[in-house]
Amino acid sequence: MKHQICSVDDIPQEGSKLLPFFGREVHVYREKGAPRAALNVCLHLGGPLDFKEGKFVCAWHGAEFATSGGCVKGPAAKESRLMFLPTRIENGALFYVWGE
């Protein structure tokens, strides 16, 4: 299965862009120049995430996550990690890929 998320040119050099994804939302951003796609879900109680000062911050309770996915501040569990989509770049577009 393959589904286009966005054009690579639409991914900001800094910050993130929030896009729809199968009835949910995904943050698309660059980490060390490489495109990444993280689900817009805090692992504490499922709240939405804002991208602030180079990290993801839960709008509900303030949990913070690094762009690499690791939790840097609770109340989310220290060992929790953001959920990333498996992606691939083809013809200038970022695709979600599954089962390939």
* Domain edges within the chain: 2-97
Task: Give the pLDDT band of residue 100 (cuts 50, 70, 90).
Answer: confident
* Other residues' Cβ atoms within 10 Å of the Cβ of residue 94: 21
Q: How many helices (H) and strands (E) does the chain have?
A: 0, 10
Tokens of 30: 């660059």
The model's pTM is: 0.92
pLDDT digits (tens, 9 = 90+) for 25-73: 999 999 999 999 999 999 999 999 999 999 999 999 999 999 999 999 9
Task: Give the pLDDT band of residue 99 (cuts 50, 70, 90).
Answer: confident
Q: Over pLDDT 70: what percentage of the chain? A: 100
CB 28 within 8 A of CB 36: yes
SS (H, E, C) 59-85: CCCCCEEECCCEEEECCCCCCCECCEC
Query: What is the domain class of 2-97 according to CATH?
Result: mainly beta
